[in-house]
Chains A and B, each alone.
Chain A
Amino acid sequence: NAGVTQTPKFQVLKTGQSMTLQCAQDMNHEYMSWYRQDPGMGLRLIHYSVGAGITDQGEVPNGYNVSRSTTEDFPLRLLSAAPSQTSVYFCASSYSASGSRELFFGEGSRLTVL
């Protein structure tokens, strides 16, 4: 199993450009989420989804869009990139019905906005 796969691993954007960070999981997890991680800080939740067709906002949703058309995929869209969105982004998934709410994380996508 590949687990949680994120692409791209690195990306440089100019201010105002748009892009999509891809996330796919092959564990049939219902729950998927996006976090950002800034130096010296913990992870902050951007958006999450509890199943196909259902999404909701986290702590820091502004400037980001998500959709969940399939169980496997949960892309994160930056509509108009800003330098404040320079960060490392992590996608995570979880099987909600299990006793543990363990999140399985991808390897991260490092985004720099100039």
Chain B
Amino acid sequence: GESVGLHLPTLSVQEGDNSIINCAYSNSASDYFIWYKQESGKGPQFIIDIRSNMDKRQGQRVTVLLNKTVKHLSLQIAATQPGDSAVYFCAESLYNFNKFYFGSGTKLNVKP
């Protein structure tokens, strides 16, 4: 299907390197954040989440860092693989609320 990342900021990394994808969120009251991965022609897939009472959370090959002072979120991917090539979105919410607000996304290209 047609890529939804035609006009997105792009990060190009070499296979095996670490990737860092950044996201600025808008609402200082947001207390819950999620990173999603979207491959071309597919729906977004959950990667990792973090609540505002944490600064860092680790998953398998991924780490999310939260800096509430500057309203900044980052996703670190270790040993990036070709299968990591996709568009990555952050989303913010109030944990007990029912609306998620998504960023515009970053396209990750992994070069073999």
Q: Which residues of B contact A42 (CB under 8 A)?
A: 89, 91, 101-105
Is B99 at the interface (CB under 8 A from chain A)? yes
In the complex, the answer to whether B4 meets A105 with C-beta atoms within 8 Å is no
Q: Mark A79-114, 1 if CB is under 8 A from B, else 0.
A: 000000000101010000000111111111010000
Q: Which residues of A contact B46 (CB under 8 A)?
A: 100, 102-104
Q: Is the interface of A mostly helix, strand, loop or mixed?
A: strand
Q: Which residues of B contact A88 (CB under 8 A)?
A: 4
Q: How large is the interface on A (under 10, 10 to 19, 20 to 34, 35 or more residues)?
A: 20 to 34
Q: Which of A42, A103, A108 has the most CB of B within 10 A?
A: A42
Q: Which of B14-22, B37-45, B64-72, B78-86 contacts A (4 or more CB under 8 A)?
A: B37-45
A–B complex contacts, Cβ < 8 Å, 21 sampled? A4-B43, A31-B98, A33-B98, A39-B7, A42-B89, A42-B102, A42-B103, A43-B44, A43-B89, A45-B99, A58-B99, A90-B43, A90-B44, A101-B93, A101-B95, A103-B100, A105-B44, A105-B45, A107-B42, A110-B1, A110-B2
Interface residues of A (CB under 8 A from B): 4, 31, 33, 35, 37, 39-45, 48, 50, 56, 58-59, 88, 90, 92, 100-108, 110
